[in-house]
Amino acid sequence: MKVHYRTSVVESAREPLDIAVGLAASGLFDTTVIHEAADEWSVAGGVAAEVIVDAKSIRCTSLGVTREEPWFGEPLTAVQKFLADLPISDWTAYGWCAFELAHAIAGMTLEEGTLLHLVIPETEIRLTGSRILLRSLESGALAAAEDMLARIAADSVPAESLPVQVDLESNAETYRLSVAALIEEIRAGKLQKAILSREIPVGTEIDFPASYRRGRLANTPARSFLLDMGGLRCFGFSPESVVEVSADRRVSSQPLAGTRALTGDPHLDHKLREDLLSDPKELHEHAISVKVAVDELVGPCKPDSVFVEEYMSVKERGSVQHLASRVVGQMPEEASPWDAFAAVFPAVTASGVPKRAAYQAIQRHEQNRRGLYAGAVLKVAEDGAMDAALVLRSVYAQGGRAWLRAGAGIVERSHPDRELEETREKLRCVATSLLACAKGTGTTASGTGTVRTGSHD
């Protein structure tokens, strides 16, 4: 017998962003996810069920009962089975997967660390315009969420804390040398393209909800998100989707490759855009990415249903502008959204071509495990819909440290200095939005409140 969500609907004149941030900062939930799609904001709070995959095992919890077992072959089959067997009606799962999940899918040797973490929330709030739908498995949690929404609606937006200064030159010379070495490998025929990234430490404690709000007001992402799950905190402004699957099995992927700065000066931005649209290196890099996206979607989709719906437009994403395309297809009725995800993940625009050779190049030239960077933030529904957004333009915190990370696509025509500058352009999408926690207030990145509802962690 399945359990069902209790629901209520309220109206609010407050902006969905302010309501979502207010809920994240309230301390109402031990686990919180904000997910913004094109026309809806979702806030997931607490844990009714969850699945965590690491290099060796899959740990599943449902309504307080936990089991752990090894996975074999690849872990997504076990994840799909767990979700299919959930004793919860009309569920939606939220969470993330690490870049290294791709190594598991490819059958490569794995390092320690979480590969995937999804939660089915105890309480879920969906914001569409002025309408707020609240759902909870517990009547007490539903009442607590309604009370918190009333308080948020009555409060003004809190004053912002001091901006955080970040040294964007950290690891610059090491990055130049890595790019130069990879260019030589490409010229030697070992691969065609790989995305190399560099990590930038942040030495100040960050107010995650306030920083997310500030950054969202300054960015124009395809998706935005804020996570506070299992000791990992992250917010970001995804420039593209890895894969989108509708309930009727229509599949879409949006590769972005090719970058120039977006300065705010209309004349200069137009000049940079024209330069982007005529640069042979950028055009070549983008064309490779689109071809790979088409080839990958052919696998899970019906024959002859895959086509390029949009080709080489320019999308503005915060402090940068990108060449963008969209590839679509139709899966058969019996297919799962995880089939499309496994075919496309990780995004070619954050890995390389061929992908396996790119994974190996990334392991050789980057200093540490990527984790959530270049992975995906996931929203998966019982009806088969899936939204997987590429995790870039983000800030991360775990284990007492915080950091940023950005990369650039390296091909034979690349130049180390230009690729380094591209990482700076991308880092500014987030670096300029960081706000410090207020001193002496007890503020943490998880919020200031003390009210918490039942979590089954």
The residues carrying an active-site annotation are: 240
Alpha carbons 91 and 229: distance in angstroms, whole number:
18
Cα torsion angle, 410, 416, 419, 420, sign: positive
Tally of helices (H runs) and strands (E runs) in the chain: 11, 23
Alpha carbons 34 and 384: distance in angstroms, whole number:
20
Helices 16-25 and 139-154, packing angle to 10 deg: 120
Q: Across the strands, what pairs with 315?
A: 322
**Residue 67 identity:** R
Which residue is associated with the tokens 């998100």? 225
3-class secondary-structure state, position 362: helix
Alpha carbons 315 and 160: distance in angstroms, whole number:
29
Alpha carbons 224 and 163: distance in angstroms, whole number:
20
Q: Across the strands, what pairs with 54?
A: 114
Alpha carbons 31 and 377: distance in angstroms, whole number:
15
